[in-house]
A = this chain, B = another copy of it.
């Protein structure tokens, strides 16, 4: 009942980078193998993570990528924002029916509700660090 798996992919990639014993970083091809997708798709996600300052990359023949900071310093909220994941719920955008009070003002009411719920969602994501994810991965 849900879509947009880019957030999951991003967490997967970052967990891979955090676990990767290679001090020299990983290539998009290796990450793609772990995630089971194409290197291109990985690179597109990596690009967003890079712009958000979560990973650093090197171009050229010895190209690679690695975490820009410690896994403890990266929260799921950082990742959520980096990939611009969907909001808690979507608000419809129909034209207002002038004669109807509900039609005209429902959007504001929904926006108030969304603001509160979105905040709760983000606080929860902020409390989970990439290090926690890595710990879960290794524990199992």
Query: In angstroms, how far is the closest chain B Cβ from the Cβ of A38?
Result: 12
Interface centre among A16, A91, A95, A109 (most CB of B within 10 A): A109
Query: In angstroms, how far is the closest chain B Cβ from the Cβ of A133?
Result: 5
Query: In angstroms, how far is the closest chain B Cβ from the Cβ of A4?
Result: 6
Smallest CB-CB separation from A91: which chain B residue? B8
Q: A110 and B34: CB pair below 8 A?
A: no
> So how many copies of this chain end up in the complex?
2
CB-CB under 8 A from A120, the residues of chain B are 120-121, 123-124
Count of chain A residues with a beta carbon within 8 Å of a chain B beta carbon: 61
CB-CB under 8 A from A90, the residues of chain B are 2-5, 7-8
Q: What are the interface flags for A74-101 relative to B under an 8 Å C-beta threshold, 1 for contact and 0 otherwise?
A: 0010001000111111111011010011
